[in-house]
Amino acid sequence: MKKILITTGGTGGHVIPAQIIKDHLADDFEVFFSTDFRGLKYLSTNSNRTVLIDTPKLNLSFYLPFRIIKLIFLVFKSLILLKKKKIKKIISIGGYMSLPVIISAIILKLPIFLLEPNLVLGRGNKFFLKFAKKILCYSNKLTNFPKKYFKKIEIIKPLVSKNFYELHKKEKSDDKFCFLIFGGSQGAKIFDNIFVEIISKISKNFSIKVIQQTNKENIKNLKNIYNSFGIENVIFDYDQDLANLIHISDLCITRAGATSLAEISFLEVPFIAIPLPTSKDDHQMKNAEYYEKKGCCWILDQNKLKKDELTNFFINLLKDKTKLLDKKKNLQKINYMSSWKKINKELKIIFNEY
């Protein structure tokens, strides 16, 4: 069985697609992971197929010379790893975390494949593109993509875990209108401050419940506030079964990471995207605009959020759900003919080509 190494790390937005690709390829390849410390919490630390390559950021600072020395060490570590495990192909999910592995793969002349789930080409992927056989994307209209490498693009359907396909077939049973508020694997403290008050006001006139992500330290406090208003609630951190929480929701309020939006849209839940203003190259805004143009969501600017306007917006949505239904129909259109088997077949063809 051929051996593939997937290099990933950082946030859930990088690691979750890596795990999904592994699930797709598990029957044909023996799959290994390399990751940094941040990515370890999303992967099995007990697995002998997960290797720590904790790449430092090479930003200008007093510590830059020491970080370069560490990078060189990690390149040698990666070279030994690839030779020892007899890795035949490399898949990178982007980011500076992959640098030592990609350099080693170039030295060993191994086929390199990239994944770019965002609508803006990441800086890491842009740097690695020259050496890659293919780059897997959800669209061929990526910002910052060099035209000379356009033929390397392979369009695939957005990657979601297999359990999403199982949930897609199930009907929602609860009559209460359910809000899901979450900020991706990095969380969003601003959501705690703004939406608690708004949801509390709405609950006076409508039968609703709320599912909200917060940090572990704030779970009890947030739960107590909603309980004081008699609002049914589920308060969680990252470790919850997010797929099921999305499935039982009627409206999501979220950041605009590519993985989060892929998951929400696949389960055909209308959403309000509030892109992270500090995201690199404004990629979260580009991700959200992709769905907005297809009539699947609303976009709000974090710096212009006004509680009174938002409260009125939600009240109008609940009074007349026509706009929500329109968004749901448009989400159904973009997910038409999407299946685990079809994506599985496409990925195997791509990775078996070289």
Give the tens place of pLDDT for each residue, 124-171.
899 999 999 999 999 999 999 999 999 999 999 999 999 999 887 777
Q: Maximum CA pair distance of the chain? A: 65
146 and 276 together in one domain: no
34 and 148 together in one domain: yes
Residue 187: the pLDDT is 54
207 and 281 together in one domain: yes
Strands 251-254 and 177-182: parallel
Q: What is the pTM of this model?
A: 0.90
Q: In terms of residue numbers, what domain contains 12?
A: 2-157+338-352
Q: Cα separation of 101 and 53, whole Å?
A: 8
Q: Is 154 helix (H, G, I), strand (E, B) or coil?
A: strand
Q: Cα separation of 36 and 13, whole Å?
A: 14
225 and 345 together in one domain: no
How many other C-beta atoms are found inside a 10 Å radius of the C-beta of residue 89?
20
Q: Cα separation of 98 and 21, whole Å?
A: 16
149 and 188 together in one domain: no
Beta-strand ranges (E) seen in 274-354 are 297-299
Instruction: Read off φ and ψ for residue 347, nearest 5 degrees.
Output: -65, -40
Chain centroid, CA 282 distance in Å:
15
329 and 342 together in one domain: no
Angle ∠(53,55,60) on CA atoms, nearest 5: 170
Residue 59: the pLDDT is 78
Q: Is 170 helix (H, G, I), strand (E, B) or coil?
A: coil
94 and 211 together in one domain: no
Residue 266: the pLDDT is 95
Written as tens digits, the pLDDT of the chain (354 aa) is 899 999 999 888 889 999 999 999 999 999 999 999 988 888 865 577 999 999 998 877 788 899 999 999 999 999 999 999 999 999 999 888 999 999 999 999 999 999 999 999 998 899 999 999 999 999 999 999 999 999 999 999 999 999 999 887 777 777 899 999 987 555 567 788 789 999 999 999 999 999 999 888 889 999 999 999 999 999 988 766 889 999 999 999 999 999 999 999 999 999 999 999 888 888 999 999 999 999 999 999 988 988 999 999 999 999 999 999 999 999 999 987 789 999 999 999 999 988
8 and 102 together in one domain: yes
Cβ neighbours for 324, distance < 8 A, ≥ 6 positions apart: 250, 251, 270, 317
114 and 57 together in one domain: yes
Which CATH number goes with the domain that contains 31? 3.40.50.2000
91 and 204 together in one domain: no
213 and 67 together in one domain: no
146 and 174 together in one domain: no
- Start-to-end CA span in the chain (Å): 15
Beta-strand ranges (E) seen in the chain are 2-7, 29-35, 50-52, 89-92, 112-116, 134-137, 153-155, 177-182, 208-213, 232-236, 251-254, 271-273, 297-299
For 136-160, give one letter per residue: b (16+ CB within 10 A) or e.
bbbbeebeebeeeeeebbbebbbbb
Q: Quote the number of domains for the chain.
A: 2
**Is residue 313 packed enough to be buried (19+ CB in 10 Å), middle (13-18) or exposed (0-12)?**
middle
